[in-house]
Amino acid sequence: MRVVESGDPAAPRSVLVVGCIHGTETAGVAVTRRLIEAKPPPRERLWIMDCLNPDGAAKGTRDNAHGVDLNRNFPWHWRPRYMPGDPQYSGPRPASEPETRVAMRLIERIRPTVTIWFHQPVGIVRAFGHSALVARRFAHLTGLPFRLLPWLSGSASNWQNHRFPHAASFVVELPPGPLSRAAAARYVRAIRTLAACPES
């Protein structure tokens, strides 16, 4: 796993972008790669992670190498879901997976103002509660429809939105298939717009 810090380390606010958590939903990596290659923003701070689930992405599976759905493994309202072998298996206990603990430690250390988790293939921006405001703005900037949907138990955004009630975390479900260059550029612009002014 690689996390890249870009921009101004003294900026009071930051945006964390995770390109992939489910190994079969990797289109967001085109966005994180572009963000990493782009000139760092002069006054903003970005944290960029291509993929929280490198084993799943390498094998072409939704889950990690233990067969656990990382987005059901976070500790807020975690509950046992499904059995080993099911693609939405929650794992044996909250934060049982090393990838989950890496994400939690990172987020607890950097405390991003906004976190964006890329998924596929629904083609929506989804959020709930206080994160809906910034997620709606992101939807508007990218042209994706916004959906107000409760968080799933054990999901990363559910944990973040309860652990850090003054920060926002939301999900961008990209459409199926790879992103075009133009689309990837549009998401990069939207992320940089949010990073410049995450609270309005």
CA 3 to chain centre: 13
- Closest approach of Cβ 176 to Zn ion, in Å? 12
Q: Whose Cβ is closer to Zn ion: residue 15's or residue 152's?
A: 152
Choose the binding region for Zn ion from 17-25, 74-82, 86-94, 155-163 (rule: CB under 5 A).
17-25
Q: Which of 22, 34, 72, 126 binds Zn ion (CB under 5 A)?
A: 22
The H-or-E segment that residue 116 falls in is strand 114-119
Tokens of residue 52, six digits: 């929280």
- Closest approach of Cβ 41 to Zn ion, in Å? 27
Check residue 72 for interaction with Zn ion (CB under 5 A). no
The whole-angstrom separation of Cα 61 and Cα 57 is: 6
Q: Whose Cβ is closer to Zn ion: residue 7's or residue 56's?
A: 56
By CB under 5 A, the residues from 51 to 70 that bind Zn ion are none
Q: Whose Cβ is closer to Zn ion: residue 65's or residue 196's?
A: 65
By CB under 5 A, the residues from 83 to 122 that bind Zn ion are 119
What are phi and psi for residue 99, nearest 5 degrees? -65, -40
Q: Whose Cβ is closer to Zn ion: residue 22's or residue 45's?
A: 22
Size of the site for Zn ion (CB under 5 A): 3
Check if the beta carbon of residue 161 is closer than 8 Å to that of residue 131. yes
Check if the beta carbon of residue 14 is closer than 8 Å to that of residue 46. yes
Q: Whose Cβ is closer to Zn ion: residue 167's or residue 172's?
A: 172
The whole-angstrom separation of Cα 180 and Cα 186 is: 10
Binding mask 115-154 for Zn ion (x = CB under 5 A): ----x-----------------------------------
**Residue found by looking up tokens 């926002």 in the block:** 168
Tell which residue, 37, 21, 41, 55, has the closest CA to residue 181. Answer: 37
**Alpha carbon distances (Å) from 20 to 67, 86, 96, 136:** 16, 19, 19, 21
Binding mask 150-169 for Zn ion (x = CB under 5 A): --------------------
- Binding residues for Zn ion, rule: CB under 5 A, are 22, 25, 119
